[in-house]
Amino acid sequence: MPTAATLDWRPGERRLIRARVWRHDLWRHRWPLLFVSPFFLLFAVFNLYPIGFSFWLSLHDWSGLGSMVWLGLDNYFELVHDSIFWNSMANSAIIFLGSGERSSSCPTSPRWWPPAIPSD
């Protein structure tokens, strides 16, 4: 019996077969996809769009009103050479590294929290 590797495929035939299989699988799983689709729609609207638009805004000079002026990566080059930015990054790293010790030593063990109510 010939295998797929030994068959003489015409150009585009494999792509056509893959498309048919993909459409068949999509149709077969249409109900689960329909029930999950509101999550993906809301995720895209409220998470992906703001992230993408924020990146787009970072490439422009815009006051919120009027037209945008294209700056490209100039904002990022200016940020790399800004001493206030690096000072804030150092402060954030100190807070991040220092906060782990306090939170891991916080006594929130279920063994004694919440406090036992004495029964009389």
pLDDT for position 14: 78
CB 60 within 8 A of CB 70: yes
Which of 6-10, 77-81, 92-96 has the highest average model confidence (pLDDT)?
A: 77-81
pLDDT band, very low/low/confident/very high, at 2 (cuts 50, 70, 90): low
The amino acid occupying position 74 is D
Residue positions counted in the chain = 120
Residue 72 lies in a domain: yes
Helix (H, G, I), strand (E, B) or coil at 44: helix
CB 93 within 8 A of CB 83: no
**Count of domains observed in the chain:** 1
pLDDT in tens, 25-82: 888 988 998 999 999 999 999 999 999 999 999 999 998 899 999 999 999 999 999 9
- What's the domain range around 21? 14-100
Q: What totals of helices (H) and strands (E) does the chain contain, helices first?
A: 5, 2
Residue 1 lies in a domain: no
Residue 9 lies in a domain: no
Residue 27 lies in a domain: yes
Residue 88 lies in a domain: yes
Residue 65 lies in a domain: yes
